Amino acid sequence: MFKSKWNIPHILKRMLEALLILSPLVMIALPFLFAPIEQDTVITHVSSASQNRWVTLAFLEVCGAICWVIILFLQRLLTTVIKTSPFVIKNVKYLKYISYLCAGAAVVLIVKSFVDFSILTPVIAVLALLSSMFCQTLAAVFDKAIRLKAENDLTI
């Protein structure tokens, strides 16, 4: 049997573990990195409508925290895929949680579009909504597969 040198699920799991460690460090360092930047630079490059760089930072921190929790659930989902079958009820729950978090991030970004507009914020909000719907669809597919597997196990 052909065995690949590149075990993609394990590589992805290691990448997610690295992100789980590094992203809080970046979120902690962000205010210190943001503080010395001049207001004109923030208005020009980060957010065109913000009169206060700390409003922009607050939205970045909230979205960063939501993304960290999404990465945590993805790591848990990947762990169950590696150890057992991907079609378990835990993975359906994880996908639904990820979907709700993506929808929450979309709401935060939509609010940011009105409070602190930048050109990419609505685009990322739409991507977050699409991600939410995709995760719901994937959860439904996994749920259907679990039901079919259970039904198949009952047949002789």
pLDDT of residue 6: 73
pLDDT at 32 over 90: no
Q: How many residues does the chain have?
A: 156
Q: Tokens for 118?
A: 């930048």
Q: pLDDT (tens digit, 9 = 90+) per residue, 90-148?
A: 999 999 999 999 999 999 999 999 988 888 899 999 999 999 999 999 999 999 999 99
Confidence class for position 1, pLDDT limits 50, 70, 90: very low
pLDDT higher at 20 or 7: 20
Angle at Cα 96 formed by Cα 91 and Cα 98, nearest 5°? 95
Per-residue pLDDT of 53-73, as tens digits, reads: 788 889 999 999 999 999 999
Residue-wise pLDDT tens digits, 39-51 = 666 666 555 555 6
Which two three-digit tokens encode residue 130?
A: 């699409």
Question: What pLDDT does residue 127 have?
Answer: 97
Contact 95, 77 (CB under 8 A): yes
| Residues near 80 by beta carbon (within 8 Å), at least 6 away in sequence | 86, 88, 90, 91, 94
pTM: 0.86
Q: Name which residue leads in pLDDT, 49 or 89.
A: 89
Position 33 pLDDT exceeds 90: no
Q: Where are the domains of the chain?
A: 8-154
pLDDT value of residue 129:
97
The tens digit of pLDDT for each residue in 75-85 reads 999 999 999 88
Q: Tokens 């978090």 belong to which residue? A: 101
